[in-house]
Amino acid sequence: MVFDAIVNAWLVIVLTSLALVELALPRRAPTQGRALRWPTNITIGSLNILFAAITIAPVAAAAIAVDWRWGLFNRISVPSVVAIVISVLVLDALAYLQHRLLHASAVLWRVHRVHHADVDLDATTGLRFHPFEALISYVRMVAAVVILGLPPAGVAIYLWISAIITVLTHANVRLPSRLESVAQWLVVTPAMHAIHHSALPAETDRNFATIFSMWDRLGGTYRAEAHGGQARVRAGLEEFREPRYLTLPWTLALPFCAAPTSAAAAPARVKTG
């Protein structure tokens, strides 16, 4: 509970700071008013935080695994620092693989498209994940923690870093191009992740990583530049661009909605599975 409170406090600080920077140094001009998007994004993010608080969170699962000596790292002797580093890397790699699966599976894409349906990209988009997707992520993390016996400290550090960087990489901020290009060799940046939110399917299926960009490089999914440049990235899904899809009821119902037959702007995403 203390860890959750700390992470949530940091999220509020980071969100507030980024909101001010987005007003002063936006990379792209918004297409919709914040009064419609922000209440939905913040509410759905709060629902997911509440869900995490009433379930067995990954850090709690790690503590239980230690007590019961479940998992690989609770059976072998590994220096604490090494175990923490491995925890962060493993959980981030699994997040990358999950993200690719969310795009590859027709069923899972219906859940994940809630995140991509935001027609503008800013820090609050980093909170816009359907509760079903939050459940999938927590089950995946808890399973990995228990099977591998990842230490609570490593899991906590990963959750803290991933929460902060997820909000940061969705921010509509203009960073020095030199800083972006250098940082992308190690971590995901706002410019890199904005490509992933492009309405063009060829760009949406690129740059899946959460923290470390090397997963995209190793997986052959890295893309450095958006078509037409960063300022011209058109975020969202063409079939769900109407303002009603930005409201909370429609956002929660989106996994069960068929794409409107009138949506004819961009090539449809073809999925199997």
Which DSSP string do the residues of 34-91 spell out, in sequence order? HHHHHHHHHHHHHHHHHHHHTS--HHHHHHHHHHHT-SGGGTS---HHHHHHHHHHHH
% residues pLDDT > 90 (the chain): 68
Contact 56, 1 (CB under 8 A): no
pTM recorded for the entire structure = 0.91
Segment 143-183, tens digit of pLDDT: 999 999 999 999 999 999 999 999 999 999 888 889 988 99
The dihedral sign for the CA sequence 214, 215, 221, 226: negative
Q: Residue 238 and residue 232: Cα distance in Å, rounded?
A: 15
Contacts of 39 (CB under 8 A, 6+ apart): 248
Quick one: pLDDT at residue 30? 81
CB 200 within 8 A of CB 265: no
pLDDT tens, residue by residue, 31-68: 888 899 999 999 999 998 888 776 668 999 999 999 99
| Integer Cα distance of 109 and 29 in angstroms | 27
pLDDT tens profile 223-264: 988 765 665 788 999 999 999 999 999 999 999 998 876 554
Half-sphere exposure of 61 (CA within 13 A, CB side): 21
